[in-house]
Structure 1
Amino acid sequence: MLRPAEDTREIPELNAAELGAIAHLYRGEIYRSTIWRTRLDNTTNWSIVTLGIALSSTFSSREASALPLILIGMLLAVFLGLEARRYRYFNVWRARARFLETHWYVPILNGKSAKDDAGWRNILAEDYLHPRHHISFVRAAGRRIRRTYIWIIVIQTSAYIGKLAIHPQMAAHLDELIERAEIGPIPGWVVICCGLAYNLCWVVLAVTTYWLDRRAHGTRPSAGGMG
């Protein structure tokens, strides 16, 4: 979250050349946010493709192992880490572009002058002078889980449980399903407990960061922050 600059001196009106420069600045911020948005989509595509490969391998035959669906979980964690890092950069450009839209273009469009013209310009200037990420890595990861990865993880978990339940034939009871979860010397109940902990960690991260986002946005002044 950005804070208003301490210097509250009145800022003079922008001339035509300066207005043109800000228009080009806005175009540059939109371009950079679009580039990083594409990078986010690439990481999500990698996750979907690798999950599809794991599903194809696991359900290719009755004798195929469910291990690929477990390994893909670790790969999803890696992709999520990459995507959270990219989201932090994307959020910088997105926030700046949105800030210009709400504090500069909106007054132009509705014909009402901004009440805090000096305030928002100071905030934006401070962000350019001392650039930094607007959200933490953990909050970025939580956002990506809630918006994208939760569905990928649900499909992965459902497929894993389905594999244990139907291959090589329908499981007659819970003990049989747990027995099928064995990986070499690792007992099935240990594997299932690890899977439950894995999914619980994502749920806790998603819920916790949602609460942090709500708290940050709820206390942020309408014209006093980005991100």
Structure 2
Amino acid sequence: MGAIAHLYRGEVYRSTIWRTRLDTTTNWAVVTLGVALSISFASPEASPLPLVLVGVLIVFFLVLEARRYRYFNVWRARARWMETHFYAPMLSEGDLHMEDDWQRVLANDYLRPRYHVPFMVAIGRRIRRNYFWILLIQTLAFAGKIAVHPTEVQSFDEAMRRADVGPLPGELMMLMGVIYVSVCGAIALWSKRDDLRRGRARGREKSDSMG
């Protein structure tokens, strides 16, 4: 009992540390977007290019955060497994339900550690939890910059000219923006469906229900 208590406390501590690291990458993404907003809206003549370039940094932070999330999910899943199979039955029924073989699942996870979610699922989860709003602000800010600076846009052709970035025409920049947002949205939706599928399978496969 004492060993399990210390084990649980250790897993909670590790999940807390990695949860803090997730917050760090999100903060980096927010700060860089804030800097891009400040530069692009500093004056009516300022270029919208920083709002485009910050997308590269946001994708980089998203990938880094998804990698960290996979580590965090290992510690979180182990702690949650002990909560649901050890502490909850002991508190509610006074029974550890050893016949469910939950301790063997946990032991196997220690003997053969693995990620509990695929990398793309981790990316989709982070988009749904945090990066959807960051991407939304970036998209609206770029559209707003084109629409109001230096004056209110009067036609679609004028908007396309304002979206020009060096030799790249505005039409291409807009197309890249649509692809950028669409891909992120598709990953988020796909990961949601995969989570639902995994949730349904979790009820049938007790031995693979962590993560």
Answer yes or no: same fold by TM over 0.5. Answer: yes
Deviation at 1:117, TM superposition (A): 4.0
Higher percent of residues as helix: 2
Regions of 4+ moved over 3 Å:
114-118
**Normalized against structure 1, the TM-score is what?**
0.90
Q: Residue 11 of structure 1 aligns with which residue?
A: none
Give the unaligned 5+ runs of structure 2. none
5 Å-filtered alignment, 1:156-167, equals 156-167=138-149
5 Å-filtered alignment, 1:83-122, equals 83-122=65-104
> How many residue pairs were aligned?
209
User: Residue 180 of structure 1 aligns to which amino acid in structure 2?
Assistant: R
Residue 47 in structure 1 maps to residue 42 in structure 2: no
Give the unaligned 5+ runs of structure 1. 1-18
Q: Distance in 2 between matches of 1:197 and 1:135?
A: 25
User: Residue 196 of structure 2 aligns to which amino acid in structure 1?
Assistant: R
Deviation at 1:114, TM superposition (A): 4.1
Q: Residue 32 of structure 1 aligns with which residue?
A: 14
Q: Distance in 1 between matches of 2:176 and 2:138?
A: 14
User: Residue 30 of structure 1 aligns to which amino acid in structure 2?
Assistant: V
Match of 1:215 among 176, 187, 197: 197
Between 1 and 2, higher relative CO (CA 8 Å, sep ≥ 6) is seen in 1
Q: Residue 16 of structure 1 aligns with which residue?
A: none
Deviation at 1:115, TM superposition (A): 3.8
- Identity over aligned pairs, percent: 54
CA RMSD of aligned residues (A): 1.1
Residue 123 in structure 1 maps to residue 68 in structure 2: no
User: Residue 206 of structure 1 aligns to which amino acid in structure 2?
Assistant: A
Query: Quick check: 2:89–2:97 contact (8 Å CA) kept in 1?
Result: no
Alpha-carbon displacement from aligned partner over 1:133-156 (angstroms, at most 9, x marks no partner): 000110000000000000000000
Structure whose alpha-carbon radius of gyration is higher: 1
Deviation at 1:221, TM superposition (A): 2.7
Query: Quick check: 2:85–2:97 contact (8 Å CA) kept in 1?
Result: no
